[in-house]
Structure 1
Amino acid sequence: MTYERITSIASPLFPQMHQLMQEVFPDEEVLEFDLWKEPLEDPGIRVFVAIYNGEVVGTTEYRYYKDFNVAMTDFTIVGKPGLGIGRFLWKKRQEDLERLSRENGKELFGMFAEIYDPYRVKEHTFGGVKTMDPYVRREVLSHLGYKKLDLAYVHPSWNNDGEAVEGLDLGFMPSDDNLEGIPSSLVVDFLIRYYTVLPNKPQAWVDMINGLKDKDTVSLLPL
């Protein structure tokens, strides 16, 4: 299995990756094909695929913010069972992020991730791909060390239609597992930066951001 970066929609691997995303995620979570041009060319956005026998069988997108010293896992897709794809993507991503943080002269503070909560929203089918079952994914992320931020989380729809997407938690995996909270200013700055690409922000998102600005710390709760 090989780990290969995609930096252009012209890559012959990208249509396979985009198709895999459409098979797994709800429509509002998948950016249109042509709109991927700028993200893929952005050096700060790292999109990799796992290739097995010439086929894209998994993919992950993430980014490292040097000024915040945190990472964000946009998504990870395990397209087939029994190949160790999840572990492969995790190790390769961690190696890459640890290298980037070392080059920044720091130890990675932690990593954000949006995590579906199937106990609240039960209709996530994820294209029938059992490796992406939200119950399984949530427990795997908990095992890895992710915790959830103590807030009612919403995010802008990737359709850029101004709708609020609910049914997720904002998770954070601290490098220090004993950490009980993180600065709310970090959460605010991160979310504003992360969703700059979507100009149509729902009011619920704006209210959430304003509420965070009134706090000093956001607690990390068990996932």
Structure 2
Amino acid sequence: MEYKRITNITDPLFSKLHKLLGEVFPPEEVLEFDLWKEPLEDPGIRVFVAVHEGEVVGATEYRYYPQWNIAMTDFTIIGRPGLSIGRFLAQNRENDLQTLAKENGKVLFGMFAEIYNPYEKEDFDFGGVKPMNPFVRREVLSHLGYKKIDFPYVHPSWKNDGEAVKGLDFCFMPIDENVTEIPTSLVADFLKEYYSVLPNKPQEWIQMIADLQLKETVRLLPI
């Protein structure tokens, strides 16, 4: 299996990746094909695919933010069972991020991720791909060390239609397992930066950020 980075929508592997995205994620979570041009060419956004026998069988997108010394996992896709794709992606991603942090003179502080909460919303089928089952994914991410950030979470739809998307938790994986809370300024500043590309913010999201900024720290809870 090969870990290959995609930096252009003309890459044949991107067509295969975008098809996979449409098969496993709901429409409001998938950016249109042509709108990927700028993100892929952005050196700060890292899109890698797992290639097995010429086919894209998994993928992950993430980014490193040197100003906060944290990363964000945008998505992880496991397209087939029985190939240890999840571990392959996680190991390669961590090695890449630790290299980026080292170049920044740091040891990575941690990584954010939005994690589906099937206990609140059960209509995620992810194209029927069993390893993508949200109950399975949630437990795997818990094993990796992700913890729920203790606040009610919504995010703006990637359709940029001003709708609030629910059914997810915003989570953080501290590299130091002894970390039990993080500054709310880190969470709020990060979310404002992350979603700056979407001008149509739902009022629920705006209020969520305002409420978050009233506190100094926020707890990390088990998932």
State the 1:86 CA deviation.
0.6
Q: Secondary structure at the match of 2:158?
A: coil
State the 1:101 CA deviation.
0.3
Runs of 4+ in structure 1 displaced over 3 angstroms?
Answer: none
- Is 1:112 the counterpart of 2:135? The answer is no
Aligned residues between the structures: 223
**Inter-partner Cα distance in structure 1 for 2:170 and 2:54:** 34
- Is 1:63 the counterpart of 2:63? The answer is yes
State the 1:178 CA deviation.
1.2
**Aligned counterpart, 1:155:** 155
**Inter-partner Cα distance in structure 2 for 1:27 and 1:2:** 28
Q: Secondary structure at the match of 1:13?
A: helix
**Inter-partner Cα distance in structure 2 for 1:93 and 1:180:** 24
Question: Could you list the per-position Cα deviations for residues 20-40 of structure 1 after superposition, in whole angstroms to 9, with x for gaps in the alignment?
Answer: 000000000000000000000
Q: What is the 5 A alignment of 1:24-173?
A: 24-173=24-173
**Aligned counterpart, 1:188:** 188
Q: What is the 5 A alignment of 1:12-31?
A: 12-31=12-31
Question: Could you list the per-position Cα deviations for residues 55-88 of structure 1 after superposition, in whole angstroms to 9, with x for gaps in the alignment?
Answer: 0000000000000100000000000000111110
Letter in 2 for 1:25: F
**Aligned-pair Cα RMSD in Å:** 0.4
Question: Could you list the per-position Cα deviations for residues 111-163 of structure 1 after superposition, in whole angstroms to 9, with x for gaps in the alignment?
Answer: 00000000000111111111100000000000000000000000000000000
**Inter-partner Cα distance in structure 2 for 1:53 and 1:176:** 37
Q: Secondary structure at the match of 1:82?
A: coil
**Inter-partner Cα distance in structure 2 for 1:199 and 1:11:** 29
Question: Could you list the per-position Cα deviations for residues 158-197 of structure 1 after superposition, in whole angstroms to 9, with x for gaps in the alignment?
Answer: 0000000001000100011111100000001100010011
Identical counterparts, % of pairs: 69
Letter in 1 for 2:55: E
Letter in 2 for 1:159: K
Which blocks of at least 5 consecutive residues in structure 1 are unaligned? none
**Inter-partner Cα distance in structure 2 for 1:22 and 1:140:** 22
State the 1:5 CA deviation.
0.3
TM-score under structure 2 length normalisation: 0.99
Letter in 1 for 2:136: V
Which blocks of at least 5 consecutive residues in structure 2 are unaligned? none
TM-score under structure 1 length normalisation: 0.99
